[in-house]
């Protein structure tokens, strides 16, 4: 009788393990997958903010976008990969809503193979000769407003939006393998800290 009871207990333990083990594996894989996703999002969000701050200080300088992209790469560490980075938009944002102003968007693709010295297509490096390859559109630095108006405002709002792909590790957790977006907005710094002349005049 004892051996029959032991067999029944072993059988029950196997059934319990068969029920609990898949749930335990899903929990462990979920922690790993979402931990890696959270880490990647934090890294790319921090790099995006760093690139935006670089753009704010560069203002109207020809190399503004190039320096922003370099700052983004520096902050991405091991995420600098053509399988991760899909596109980067540098744009003029509506100061009230933060929305992209459609005609003032520069879109770059990470391309270290065809552009080994610049890593971006089109390459916005002023030393490369022809740069800012946006025919009839785009937002070249010389068009950016970095002069305070009469009431201390008027500076353009610069935005950077990074679209990237997060790949799953285990393949067991749905919704992890997907495209994601990180965005940062910042007002351009004034070239000089003086108000522009008022458009109204007074008579004496």
Q: What is the pLDDT of residue 134?
A: 65
- In DSSP terms, 85 is beta-bridged to 164
pLDDT per position as a tens digit, 170-182: 877 888 899 999 9
pLDDT per position as a tens digit, 20-69: 777 887 888 888 888 989 999 999 999 999 999 999 999 999 999 999 99
- Mean pLDDT taken over the chain: 84
Q: What is the pLDDT of residue 204?
A: 41
Tokens 């890593």, residue?
119
Number of H helices, E strands in the chain: 2, 5
The CA dihedral of 3, 8, 11, 13, to the nearest 10 degrees, is: -100
pLDDT per position as a tens digit, 121-176: 998 998 876 667 665 568 989 899 999 887 767 899 999 999 999 988 887 788 88
């Amino acid at each position: 009788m004892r051996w029959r009871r032991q067999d029944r207990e072993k059988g029950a333990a196997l059934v319990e393990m068969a029920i609990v083990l898949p749930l335990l594996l899903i929990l462990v894989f979920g922690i790993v997958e979402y931990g890696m996703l959270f880490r990647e999002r934090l890294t790319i969000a921090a790099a995006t903010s760093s690139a935006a701050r670089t753009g704010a200080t560069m203002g109207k300088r020809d190399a503004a976008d190039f320096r922003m992209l370099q700052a983004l790469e520096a902050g991405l560490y091991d995420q600098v990969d053509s399988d991760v980075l899909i596109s980067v938009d540098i744009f003029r944002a509506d100061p009230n809503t933060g929305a992209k102003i459609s005609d003032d968007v520069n879109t770059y693709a990470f391309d270290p193979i065809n552009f080994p010295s610049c890593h971006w297509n089109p390459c916005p490096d002023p030393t490369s000769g022809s740069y800012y390859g946006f025919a009839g559109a785009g937002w070249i630095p010389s068009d950016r407003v970095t002069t305070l108006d009469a009431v201390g405002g008027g500076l353009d709002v610069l935005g950077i939006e990074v679209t990237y792909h997060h790949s799953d590790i285990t393949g067991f957790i749905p919704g992890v393998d997907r495209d994601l977006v990180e965005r940062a907005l910042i007002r351009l710094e004034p070239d000089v800290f003086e108000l522009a002349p008022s458009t109204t005049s007074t008579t004496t």
